[in-house]
Structure 1
Amino acid sequence: MPEAIPRPIPEAVSETVPTPASGRAGDDRPSVVCVSGRRVVQVLAQLGARTVLLGDPTPLDLACAADVPMDLDLDDWTAAEAALRRLHATHPVRAVLSVYDAHLPLASFLAARLDVTGLALAAALNCHDKLRMRLALQAAGLQGPAYAVVADEGEAQAAARWIGHPVLVKKITAAAGRGTLLCRDPGEVAEAVATLREEQAPNLLVEEYVDGPEYAIQSVTSGGVTEVISILAQHTAPGPRPLEVGYDFPSGLGERGEHDLGRFVAEALRALGFDDGIAHTQVRLGPAGPVVVNVGARPPGGLLCAVTEAVRGVDMVRAAAQVALGRPVTRRAPVARHARYRCVTFDVSGTVAYDPRALTGARLRAPSPVVGMDVDPGEAVSALDDPGGGTYGRIVVYADTEDGLDPAYRRVLDALRPRVERATTHTP
């Protein structure tokens, strides 16, 4: 079984990067294809790579940043392969990667067809398709929830009776976020099927709901060997959509608990076919042991990349590019020992209000608080337990000790004062 213990991070590891020389004769920089992704283009340029960007279409400013922008129909894999083969014949491609769920299968397909570095196609497909993921993990002998594939309301309710409520009803693809619904009774199962079928999901998964603490694990796999970068305790909303609403570092598992969870994640990634790439894995510790909730072959979303860099010194987007280039992952010295990440949610629906002077922007590499809102004052928001509800901002605070997190978080809330003001009606 591959080792996956969080390793001590050195103070800093520098990397010698060749000077970019776009457009000149004799350009010997390695060519890396990126399927969409603004930040990846920037990082690849910093690493001295010749960037080939596939977009549909490519924004003008991003096209100017890439060495070779290519507008393609990203749903036409045959045409994309043909276009890349023509380029590959004159400027050999070193690797193909993407950091977006929707484009991971295409990136792995192109890497396989060109026989260059990239996440194995089986791994990309297993992460993209949740039925494939369950089958691959089951075939490797890893325990998981009971599940069934259903086509309509009747089949879903029958599956829920067999599994036992509560259950999760989810899309087979695009199951993250709003693609999953928690159902506690037959009526909620029927509503979930109607909702997700309206979103044009042909077949659905009905899965056993595994109760227990949840964790988010960031990892890097190179040559089939997985290294865990960070483990965070994850908080999930109790409403119909099990949205991620917060994270804590350290995880609270202790050294032995993190060791065991890391080994489990490494085994799961090996079962899914991971060879070269990064992953964001969600695991629940159920009554019978750890169960994979989901695996994304990409950096984590929101500000989790920033938190991971602050507490572990690794930029996950940069790590993805370095793995693609066959280089060691570089690290900075961590700048924080404890972190609390909370999404902004509301208990009631109405009009949002807050003090915009408290917004700090994304100061990602400093231990000062980071506060961001996705809505402007006066915009409508929905309660977290509303089917249309969600998260509307993020607050991250750091501290040297766990006891320092509460006062730091309270200071941010006192400054931001997020609240909902119900609309008033006036009688003429």
Structure 2
Amino acid sequence: MLLMNTDNRPSVACLSGRRVVDVLDSLGAHTVLLDDPAPLELAARADVPLDLDLGDWGAVEKALRAQHADRPLEGVFTVYDAHLPLASYAAARIGVRGLGLPAALACHDTARLRMTLTAGGVRTPVSLPVADPADARAAARRLGLPVVVRRAVGRGRLRCRDLDGVKRAAELLGPAALLVERFTEGPEYAVQSLTVDGVTEVVCVLAQHTGPGPAQIETGYDHPGGLDPARETELKEFCVRALAAIGFDHGVSHIRVRLTEDGPEILDVAARPPGGQLCAAVERVSGIDLTRAAAEIALGRPVTRRPPAASHVLYRCVTFGAPGRIAFDPRGLAAPGVWLDVEPGDRVRAADDPAGGTYGRIVLYGDDPAELDSAYHSLHDSLGLRVEPDPQ
């Protein structure tokens, strides 16, 4: 007897993504998961787990073509920067929904992003590509100090105030292709948006705080961002123009922008939801889960919108003013909104260390900023955070 396939769930392919699998399951989608390899717990939950070399684009295209022929895919997407060009390439090759390849390449490669935005008349830092780290000092002289030395692809950037700092930064970040770009002063903002068929909607704008050191680590966010309505509208329209200039047509984005004396300038465009607890914070104040939105856009569905749960977010990263071994009261971790990424006795770096970072978050929501500030200090004090010098 011939059995009919009654599974009418829409099918979508995603490249990696632990939470994405959860979201697609909640949306009732048939999930094709590509990973290198797929973690066992995710493979068990995906409908079709595919262990592939994600560096072999031809093999990925072949596998997805076979899936598409057997059960048509609605789209191909990812929420990981490293896999973005491949996801867009595969979507274009098999003719399904996905972020346009020009936009994906621009988001993946900062040098390409700078050139594309400049050609489109959108302000972005003046930069020079450096193929050899030894040429970084010459580029800095040409641009004028201070500068930022950064990898063209991938994470890693250092602000440099003198030529010796440029040399050290290039040696630390190389031998990868580098950019040296002029540093401009001004407050920074994190702009979250979603784009469907080339039409962009800004979801929210957060003030972004950065650390004092050369690594410019992110130390916190605030919503509202403190801009007056006219300036916030200007910032939103600027980001929409920037996305149009790079051909951003389908997906969600996390944009880092700085307001300088000469106007806003785009620092980075990531074609994904924000990371960590920031995605949850955006959902609280906007009613939109950007990871869910990315999946819904790939499926061709309307984006789910819920009423905002709060009007204000106070998001602070845990950083330290000196290196050493961390000590704290673990009982403080029981409070809602507190996360630490370290254990007592772990070694931490100072916030101004070139390799420094953040070691946790305290994230609070509400409608009264004074209450949030008071609650933050109470939670921070309850942790009893301190750094003890390493024994000599």
Regarding TM over 0.5, the answer is: yes
Asked if structure 2 preserves the Cα contact closer than 8 Å seen for 1:224 and 1:275, the reply is yes
Q: How big is each residue's C-alpha offset from its partner over 1:236-277, in whole Å with a ceiling of 9 and x where there is no partner?
A: 112010111110000001222221111100000011111010
Contact in 2 for aligned 1:34/1:53 (Cα 8 Å): yes
Amino acid at match of 1:333: P
Q: Secondary structure at the match of 2:314?
A: strand
Of 374, 380, 385 in structure 2, the residue corresponding to residue 413 of structure 1 is 380
Task: Tell me if 1:356 matches 2:330.
Answer: yes
Candidates 168, 175, 182, aligned match of 1:191: 168
Counterparts in 2 of 1:24 and 1:330: CA distance versus 1, 3 Å: farther
In the other structure, the counterpart of 2:59 is: 79
SS at match of 2:44: helix
Deviations 1:60-109 (A, max 9, x none): 11001100000000000001111111111111111000000001111101
Q: Which residue of structure 2 lines up, in the alignment, with residue 171 of structure 1?
A: 151
Map 1:138-287 to 2 at 5 A.
138-174=118-154, 176=155, 179-197=156-174, 200-201=175-176, 203-287=177-261
Match of 2:272 in 1: 298
CA distance in structure 2 between the aligned counterparts of 1:357 and 1:29, rounded to whole angstroms: 45
The code of the aligned residue for 1:208 comes to: R
SS in 1 for 2:309: coil
Compare relative contact order (CA 8 Å, sep 6+) and give the higher one, 1 or 2: 1
Partners of 1:398 and 1:408 within 8 A in 2: no
2:338/2:363 contact within 8 Å kept:
yes
Structure 2 distance, partners of 1:152, 1:225, is 39
1:404 pairs with one of 371, 374, 386: 371
1:3 is aligned to: none
Please give the TM-score of this superposition, normalised by the length of structure 2: 0.97
Name the CA distance, whole Å, in 2 between partners of 1:257 and 1:360.
39
CA contact (8 A) 2:127 2:182 kept: yes
Q: Are 2:74 and 2:300, in contact at CA under 8 Å, matched by a contact in 1?
A: no
What SS does structure 2 have at the residue aligned with 1:132? helix
Partner of residue 326, structure 1: 300
Q: Is the 8 A contact 1:153 1:189 kept in 2?
A: no
Of the three residues 47, 51, 54, the one matched with 2:27 is 47
Check if 1:127 corresponds to 2:94.
no
SS of residue matched to 1:359: helix
Aligned mates of 2:183, 2:10 — CA distance in 1: 46
Greater shift in the superposed pair: 374-383 or 394-403: 394-403
Q: Distance in 2 between matches of 1:91 and 1:360?
A: 46
Q: 1:183 offset after TM fit, Å?
A: 0.5
**Which amino acid in 2 is paired with 1:328?**
P
What is the rounded CA distance, in whole Å, between the counterparts of 1:61 and 1:259 in structure 2?
A: 44
Cα distance, 1:360–1:110 mapped onto 2, change above 3 Å: farther
Output the CA distance in 1 between the equivalents of 2:87 and 2:23.
18
- What letter is aligned with 1:395? I
Instruction: Give the alignment partner of residue 374 of structure 1, picking from 329, 336, 341.
Output: 341
Give the SS at the match of 1:65: coil
Aligned to 1:366: none
User: Are 2:84 and 1:104 equivalent residues in the alignment?
Assistant: yes
Structure 1 unaligned blocks of 5 or more? 1-22, 362-368
Shift in Å, 1:24: 8.1
In the alignment, the residues of structure 2 paired with residue 360 and residue 329 of structure 1 have an alpha-carbon distance, to the nearest angstrom, of 34
Structure 1 residues 249 and 360, CA gap change in structure 2 (3 angstroms): farther
Q: Secondary structure at the match of 2:6?
A: coil
TM-score (norm 1): 0.89
Is the 1:157–1:186 Cα contact (8 Å) retained in structure 2? yes
Deviations 1:159-179 (A, max 9, x none): 1111111100011100x3xx1
Q: Supply the AA of the counterpart residue of 2:81.
A: D
Counterpart Cα distance in 2 of 1:74 and 1:410: 45
Percent sequence identity is 55
Q: Distance in 2 between matches of 1:26 and 1:121?
A: 34
Query: 2:47 matched to 1:70?
Result: no
After TM superposition, give the deviation of residue 388 of structure 1 in Å: 2.4
- What is the Cα-based RMSD across aligned positions, in Å? 1.4
CA distance in 2, matches of 1:128, 1:215: 20
Q: CA deviation at 1:405?
A: 2.0
| CA shift for structure 1 position 216 | 0.1
Question: Aligned equivalents of 1:140 and 1:309: distance in 2?
Answer: 31
Q: Does structure 1 retain, via aligned residues, the 8 Å contact 2:134–2:170?
A: no
The number of aligned residues is 390
After superposition, give the CA deviation of every residue in 1:353-382 in whole Å (9 maximum; x if it has no partner): 111112148xxxxxxx41101111111111
Distance 1:86 1:108 in 2: 17
CA distance in 2, matches of 1:143, 1:316: 26
